[in-house]
Chains A and B, each alone.
Chain A
């Protein structure tokens, strides 16, 4: 797996590379996961986007406990923990944190940044929870303010030609992720879900051109490879967040004989199914693609678009079952996990299993038993 080795080597020196870039006057823009920050705008002013996607360490939640009560999604408490404890070095290196406010879990993170770490410059803009013209306009106004902020910070005017170049770059990255995803429909595909997730997580931190090179190599490498020997149940994995460092559920599914054929997550997996048009009003195109065309996360109201998409994915990827990876206290997902199984059953005949996590080692045994039983049921 040369391409994944290359990604690994690249990420090992990434912080050093970022420091050097900063010495040369480039800015590093951090942003939390969720897929609502158009990286194109950051790239267009020669800055470097870095997405905070690390989580899974229960000790960091204890750090967060000094700033917020425990009743928030552990991924977002992790971000609060990393921000305040500086245990994630990427938080240390950024010049600005740009925060698209999606739901109240993100707002808790944003409040902490403003209240407890005012020395870290932050910029917020809102992501509405419904899809209509008013909401699209509001999102567009938000990213226009972001553009202005980035211009002020970097001193570089974000012209149309700069945006177009960065859209083309990001479109290429999305296209490659799509290509890999389509390859994964085949029973003969040689790469695992973990490989795909590693690419995705890597793409949030890596240099964009290097990442494209890695993705191209990955596709070439795996096109001719022999298929994996695992013929276990094909699993569609979904949930709010799949963070870097939180591989427990994937490990258990693989260990119990399952094959994850597709992941649908709002945070931790890059939205790659669409692309941004390069003609006409480019800011409007970004808003259209990032806000309207992208399949909405579970905290949108209603969440039917995402639930329909899950049904489609289940069919397209010939899934045998769906595992809903619920992070504790992410209430919008929890409520949907109650009524979605009926819809899934009705439309595809597939069963669904909900497993829950608060990044706690103690939950592993229970999670394993539940997934094991689910797999047994699927293979019967």
Chain B
């Protein structure tokens, strides 16, 4: 029997068979989320207008997010133990827990709400407002991702977790907001602490004690997870989680090759769906996402052969740090003004310099920590920026449109240093753009347009004069 949401779900890559099988779960989760027939018209037009739904891979990606949402909302009802981690996050510990038990649901719920209630239903604002009323008021540059998490919890949309894995190695806000959840609901927290105490210019070097400290903290968190969740972390959990992640990395490398094309074959709006999923889900969402990625790559190969792209051939090529997680219009803005975006933060990890982890470590925590420090992002500010420098050459960029999150302190440290560093090292112009990529109420596409437009005109003029 058809239901009001069938059309939207088909638009989001669900097969009729999927819908039939999932129907009771879809009904239950949509009811809890306050999604009803009255939302469908808006959602369908929002998705159609803002996503390239001519690509089956994109539709499947949207579907992967919806499946992650359904699993999240119903996790407790279905007897799962629920674990939340912050975003961005060192994913290793979460993947290990996930690989060790089928009875644990582990995710970054705020990202799920953003990509579904925002990206698909355009209904995030009431959730953010609830977060603002419950400890994270507006006007203080507090994290809007966390406002969504608190808001979603207070509204009863997402379950209260059994354990929080706090990413105490990156932002101060996340761990403190985990304390807020504890104050509100008594949730135990496994803090994974680290200190981003690298000296400017130190990357790619790092001290072994940093690996030992962060690694030791990860090991402690895994022990706490075993105790709180009453599970045993499997001895091969790390290897298993790595095998699962490898498919994503391999696909990312293929995608990187495709993004070198002119015209760039796909919009950053769609890439964002993919990249964010890899840092959010440890379960069905990412598994479905990898399948969607494979379909998308095939479709992009066809586009490449036919010289079809998301922007015009010859458009100036810029890097954008991250796409918008709730409002695709903000992400699309860069392309709307005629810039192509072949490089993002996630792609820069595979396009950037390959820094081999140093030293020999044997515990899972230390192995994870060593690998993360070599990647740069959790090493320090200059570690992140250096990947962009290399990426610029690989992707033949004409400039950088670097959007930093005003309300994310680790990200906001990039506001001026990135521009200075990249302009000096690459000679390319850098637009440092202040945004909130988890909430477009203040930093809307309209408010940002003038800046981006001017930057685009300048790049186009430079490119034209060079040819």
Which residues in A have some Cβ–Cβ distance to B below 8 Å? 66-69, 71-72, 101, 103-105, 107-108, 110-116, 118, 122-130, 132, 134-135, 137-138, 141-142, 298-299, 301-303, 328-329, 331-332, 334-336, 338-339, 342
Say yes or no: A72 contacts B409, CB within 8 Å: yes
Q: A69-B406, A135-B213, A302-B179 are in contact. Are A339 and B135 (CB under 8 A)?
A: yes
Q: Decide yes or no: A331 and B412 within 8 Å by CB, A107-B381, A134-B220, A301-B175 being known contacts.
A: no
Q: Which of B166, B196, B200, B410 contacts A114 (CB 8 A)?
A: B200
The interface-forming segment of B50-58, B116-124, B331-339, B415-423 is B415-423
Q: Which residues of A contact B31 (CB under 8 A)?
A: none
**Within the assembled complex, what's the spacing in Å between the Cα atoms of A89 and B404?**
33
Bound complex: CA of A296 vs CA of B172, how far in Å?
A: 14
With both chains docked as a complex, state the minimum distance between the C-beta of A138 and any C-beta of chain B, in angstroms: 4
Among B137, B176, B420, contact of A332 (Cβ-Cβ < 8 Å) = B176
Q: From A68, A116, A126, A128, give the contact of B413 (CB < 8 A).
A: A68
Q: Which residue of B lies closest to A109 (CB)?
A: B413
Q: Which one of A116, A125, A335 lies within 8 Å of B176 (CB-CB)?
A: A335
Q: A124-B199, A332-B173 are in contact. Are A68 and B135 (CB under 8 A)?
A: no
Task: Check A71/B412 contact, CB under 8 A, given A111-B200, A332-B173.
Answer: yes
B209 within 8 A of A: yes
In the assembled complex, the CB of B174 is this many whole angstroms from the nearest CB of chain A, namely 9
Residue of A nearest to B180 (CB): A335
Give B168-188 interface residues, CB cut-off 8 Å to A. 168, 171-173, 175-180, 182-184
For the complex, give the distance between the alpha carbons of A115 and B172 in Å. Answer: 22
Q: Please report the C-alpha to C-alpha distance between residue A69 and residue B216 in the assembled complex, in whole angstroms.
A: 34
Minimum CB–CB distance from B179 to chain A (whole Å) comes to 5
Cα-based distance from A134 to B380 in the complex (angstroms) = 21
B305: chain A residues within 8 A (beta carbon): none
A302 and B413 in contact, given A134-B217, A331-B140 (Cβ under 8 angstroms): no
Nearest-CB distance from B186 to chain A (Å)?
Answer: 12
Closest to A329 in B: B141
Q: How far is the CA of A137 from the CA of B413 in the complex (A)?
A: 28
CB of B113 within 8 Å of the partner chain: no
CB of B172 within 8 A of CB of A134, answer no
Answer yes or no: B307 CB below 8 A from chain A CBs: no
Contacts of B217 in A (CB 8 A): 130, 134
The distance in angstroms between the C-alpha atoms of A332 and B177, with both chains bound, is 8
Query: Do A125 and B197 have beta carbons less than 8 Å apart?
Result: yes
The reply on B407 being an interface residue by CB < 8 A is yes
On whether the beta carbons of A335 and B177 are closer than 8 Å, the reply is: yes
With A and B bound together, what is the CA distance between A12 and B418 in angstroms?
40
Q: Is B191 an interface residue (CB 8 A)?
A: yes
Chain B residue at minimal CB-CB distance from A131: B193
Which among A116, A328, A331 is the interface contact of B409 at CB below 8 angstroms? A331
Binding site for A on B (CB under 8 A): 135-137, 140-143, 166, 168, 171-173, 175-180, 182-184, 189, 191, 193-201, 209-210, 212-213, 216-217, 220, 380-382, 404, 406-407, 409-410, 412-413, 415-417, 420-421, 434
Q: What would be 14 A-B contacts, judged by CB atoms less than 8 Å apart?
A: A101-B197, A105-B409, A107-B380, A114-B382, A115-B417, A127-B197, A129-B195, A130-B193, A134-B220, A302-B179, A331-B140, A334-B142, A335-B135, A339-B184
A107 contacts across to B, CB distance below 8 A: 196-197, 380-381, 410, 413
B193 touches A129 (CB 8 A): yes
CB nearest to A102 among chain B residues: B195
Residue of A nearest to B197 (CB): A126
CB contacts (< 8 Å) of B197 on chain A: these are 101, 107, 124-127, 142
A71 → B minimal CB distance (Å): 4
8 additional A-B residue pairs with CB within 8 Å, beyond A69-B434, A107-B413, A301-B178: A71-B409, A104-B172, A104-B196, A107-B381, A122-B199, A129-B193, A134-B217, A335-B176
Please name all residues of chain A whose beta carbon is closer than 8 Å to the beta carbon of B166 when the two chains form the complex: 301
Q: A71-B406, A107-B413 are in contact. Are A132 and B198 (CB under 8 A)?
A: no
> B142 to A301, Cβ gap below 8 A?
no
Closest B residue to A334 using CB positions: B140
Q: Which of B183, B189, B404 has the most CB of A within 10 A?
A: B183
- Check A336 against B200 for contact (C-beta < 8 Å): no
Given the known interface contacts A135-B213, A334-B140, the answer about A69 and B404 at a Cβ–Cβ threshold of 8 Å is yes
Q: A68-B416, A335-B173, A335-B177 in contact; A302/B193 too (CB < 8 A)?
A: no
A129: chain B residues within 8 A (beta carbon): 168, 172, 175, 191, 193, 195
Chain B residue at minimum C-beta to C-beta distance from A145: B207
Which residues of B sit under 8 angstroms from A335, Cβ to Cβ? 135-136, 142, 173, 176-177, 179-180
Residue of B nearest to A337 (CB): B135
Which B residues touch A110, using CB under 8 A? Answer: 199-200
**Out of A67, A113, A302, which one reaches B200, CB within 8 Å?**
A113
**Knowing A301-B176, A329-B141, A336-B176 touch, does A111 contact B413 (C-beta < 8 A)?**
yes
List the 5 shortest-distance A-B pairs measured between CB atoms, nearest first.
A114-B200, A126-B197, A126-B195, A104-B409, A69-B415
Q: How far is the CB of A206 from chain B (nearest CB, A)?
A: 29
Rounded to whole angstroms, the CA-CA distance of A380 and B176 in the bound complex is: 35
* A356 nearest CB neighbor, chain B only: B140
CB contacts (< 8 Å) of B200 on chain A: these are 110-111, 113-115, 118
Cα distance A298–B179 in the bound complex, in angstroms: 11
Chain A residues positioned under 8 Å from B196 (CB to CB): 101, 104, 107, 126
Chain A residues in 8 Å Cβ range of B412:
68-69, 71-72, 108
The answer to whether B141 and A331 touch across the interface, beta carbons within 8 angstroms, is yes
In chain A, what residue has the closest Cβ to B171?
A104
CB distance from B430 to the nearest CB of A (A): 14
Q: Is the CB of B172 within 8 A of A103?
A: yes
- In the bound complex, CA of A46 to CA of B410 (Å): 36
Whether B209 lies near A138 (C-beta < 8 A) is yes
Residues of B within 8 A of A328 (CB): 140-141
Minimum CB–CB distance for B153 against chain A, Å: 15
A111 to B381, CA, bound (A): 8
Closest CB in chain B relative to A287 CB, distance in Å: 13
Closest to A141 in B: B209
Q: How far is the CB of A327 from chain B (nearest CB, A)?
A: 11
Q: Which of A66, A331, A339 has the most CB of B within 10 A?
A: A331
A251 to B432, CA, bound (A): 40
The CA of A297 and the CA of B353, in the complex, are separated in Å by 37
Q: Which residue of B lies closest to A142 (CB)?
A: B197
Chain B: which residue is nearest A331 at the CB level?
B173
- Closest-by-CB residue of B relative to A342 is B183
What residues of B have a CB within 8 angstroms of the CB of A130 in the complex?
A: 168, 191, 193, 217
- Find out whether the CB atom of B417 lies under 8 angstroms from the CB atom of A111: yes
Q: Please, which residues of chain A bring their CB within 8 A of the CB of B201? A: 114
Q: Which of B184, B191, B212 has a CB less than 8 Å from the CB of A301? A: B191
